[in-house]
Amino acid sequence: MATELRAPTVEEVKANSMMAHSALVLYKGKQGTKDAALMELYQIDKNTGLLHSPRRINEDDLAELGQIAGKRSIVSLGGMIPSNVFYVNKSSMGIYLPAGVHRIFLNQGDTVKAKEELVWLPAMVFFYSGPRHYVKAYWCKGTIEEVREDRAVLTGAPMPNVSGGTVCLGTSMSNVTYTNDIESMADVVIERFFGSAFNEWRTKDMREIMNRCKDIAADPDVRTIDIQKLFWHHVSPEMHEHLKSNPWRRFSQSLSR
């Protein structure tokens, strides 16, 4: 009987200001010759601590339990780790992209084809978390070895579709199925980031920063000199303004945000 079941009191679980709300009860036994199990969720009477109103658990209950426990019923990333992936934790990973010239697409409106642009970009770090395809993008001042050692510093990429490092993916990942293959997912994240249409530059500072990146990409010496070092040695006024609202932080610090 449900009234015979009693949950621990607040004092017993040392919950401080938290109140016991509900409880899971697992039943095990036999159904004919087979082992059987049933789990039900009971509400807890706040005055007596008695359990009442049982019901079977559903997917929403499981999702809430996963959030509380810090775990989700998803397949962790695995397999061979490619050289550009420096961090893996369950369904999340960190990806390093060296400085270089990239093709991006600028949205020109619903009726006009997206405009192609070549831009040089400093080294980038991407943080990806599956299976819901959460992505963050940073510009990185450091090598992949320095990122691995948590010595490199990052700032949210001052690019369209990125706000404080968080990437607005739109529909670019909507048809992507999460898998536990690290190399495959890392490739997809990079390909979809650059393959989707960016909105036009949101601010004057962003426009100036990206125009500088376009000019660097057009420089015939872009592949023969250390542009990354020069770029961060001669930081533009617009980049200084960006760093005021997106200060340098290490990768480990970005995980807590």
CA distance 18 to 10: 7
56, 121: one domain: no
Question: In b/e form, how buried is each residue of 192-228, taking b as 16+ CB within 10 angstroms?
Answer: bbbebbbeebeeebbebbbebbeebbeeeebeeeebb
The answer to whether the predicted template modeling score (pTM) of the entire model surpasses 0.75 is: no
- Domain check: are 126 and 221 in the same one? yes
Is 135 contained in some domain?
yes
Sheet with strand 51-56: strands edge to edge = 22-31, 34-44, 51-56
State the CB neighbour count (10 A cutoff) for residue 63: 12
74 inside domain: no
User: What pLDDT shows up at residue 73?
Assistant: 46
The pLDDT score that the predictor gives to residue 197 is 85
Q: What is the pLDDT along the chain (257 residues), one digit of tens a residue?
A: 444 444 445 454 444 455 667 777 777 777 776 677 777 887 876 766 667 788 887 767 776 776 665 544 456 666 678 889 999 988 899 999 999 999 998 876 655 677 899 999 999 999 999 888 999 999 999 999 999 999 999 999 999 889 999 999 888 888 888 888 899 999 999 999 998 888 866 688 999 999 999 999 999 888 777 899 999 999 999 999 999 999 999 999 988 75
In this structure, is residue 162 part of a structural domain?
Answer: yes
Does one domain contain both 130 and 46?
no
Locate 15 and state its tokens: 């919950």
The CA distance from 236 to 238, in Å, is 5
Domain with 179, as residue range(s), is 85-254
Same domain, residue pair 250 and 200: yes
Element (H, E) at 230: helix 227-233
State which of 69, 101, 121 marks the end of a domain: 69
Looking at the fold, whether 134 and 62 belong to one and the same domain comes out as no
| 64 and 122 housed in the same domain | no
The answer to whether position 233 is within a domain reads: yes
Number of domains in the chain: 2
* 94 and 61 in a common domain: no
Classify 205 as helix, strand or coil.
helix
pLDDT of residue 1: 40
Q: What pLDDT is recorded for position 22?
A: 79
Query: In terms of domains, do 55 and 124 share one?
Result: no
**Pairwise CA distance, residues 107 & 111, whole Å:** 10
How big is the CA angle at 223 (ends 139 and 136), to the nearest 5 degrees? 15
Whether residue 29 lies inside any domain: the answer is: yes
pLDDT of residue 225: 78
* Same domain (yes/no): 43, 103: no
The pLDDT score that the predictor gives to residue 9 is: 52
59 lies in the same domain as 103:
no
Say if 55 falls within a structural domain: yes
Say if residue 124 is in the same domain as residue 169.
yes
